[in-house]
Amino acid sequence: MITYEDFTKVEMRTGKIVQVEDFPKARNPAYKLIIDFGPEIGIKKSSAQITKLYTKEALLGKIIAAVTNFPPKQVADFISEVLVLGVELDSKEVTLLNFDHNVPLGTRIS
């Protein structure tokens, strides 16, 4: 188990997907995402295995949740800077977390 103090170290924030590209070099089907987290954090990149449920067009402009304080991770020839959050279903499809209301970019999730 982790403590509440451990949980508070994980920085989850809202971001808007502003660019989506295919990622053919990834081991599993994935997209390269460019995400705007607002003026405090700025633009970050992520690799996300969300191709089963989302088209590139459907992802553009989507507000997502991501962990923004993990160290960068190399995925093939791409550096992923944030971890986009979603729910992995039994079928291995991932559905992204979403929001009922408009929230400012970069808002910390608690």
CATH of the domain at 9: 2.40.50.140
pLDDT tens track for 33-75: 999 999 999 999 999 999 999 999 999 999 999 999 999 999 9
Q: What is the domain extent for residue 30?
A: 4-100
Residue 30 included in any domain: yes
Residue 108 included in any domain: no
pTM value? 0.94
Residue 106 included in any domain: no
Mean pLDDT of the chain, nearest integer: 95
| Domains held by the chain: number | 1
Residue 36 included in any domain: yes
Residue 26 included in any domain: yes
Q: Could you tell me what percent of the chain has a pLDDT over 90?
A: 91
Rounded to the nearest 10°, the torsion over CA 6, 48, 57, 61 is 20
